[in-house]
A and B are shown apart, each in its own frame.
Chain A
Amino acid sequence: MKVNHEKCGYCGACVGVCNKLAIELVENIIVIDTEKCNDCKSCMMVCPLNALEE
């Protein structure tokens, strides 16, 4: 998964559903560890702003 920082509202909803602990919110930036990410798309579903992309 990738995050589109232009669209992101840095709310952390995606972090809360990531079982792989692959997403972190660092100040106002969502950081995704692509090694840990298993492309389950949970983050995509809860994002209020469509900021997560494959």
Chain B
Amino acid sequence: MAQADTTGEHTMRIHLTSVFVDDQAKAERFYTDVLGFVKKHDIPLGTARWLTVVSPENPDGTELLLEPGDHPAVGPYKDALVADGIPAAAFAVDDANAEFKRLTDLGVRFTQEPLEMDTVITAVLDDTCGNLIQLQQLR
């Protein structure tokens, strides 16, 4: 296969990524009030919303879409990932241990406490909307 052009003219950017959430209203609260993201878009879309959040540090950066998980394949997919402890997304933090403490105090459930691995400290939490989320502190 031909190599992609990486000179800049045709590069792609990761602009939006998504997690399937059980309940958009609950997800909005968790991702903003608890995790600390800020809402970027909230557009009515039929029975659901085009609901995205961004990091307050980078409001024009990558958006996370809190996508309704009502497709019949989503439930079994999420259940299988959660049972094995596999995160649906990963977010960067400055201090994984401090975040673990802050979020635990807020009642957030972690399936993996902070773990030092080579160049990264990771932890895995439950977003209360059917997903596990990994926190990553790059060292």
A binds B: no
Give the interface of B toward A (CB within 8 A). none
Give the interface of A toward B (CB within 8 A). none
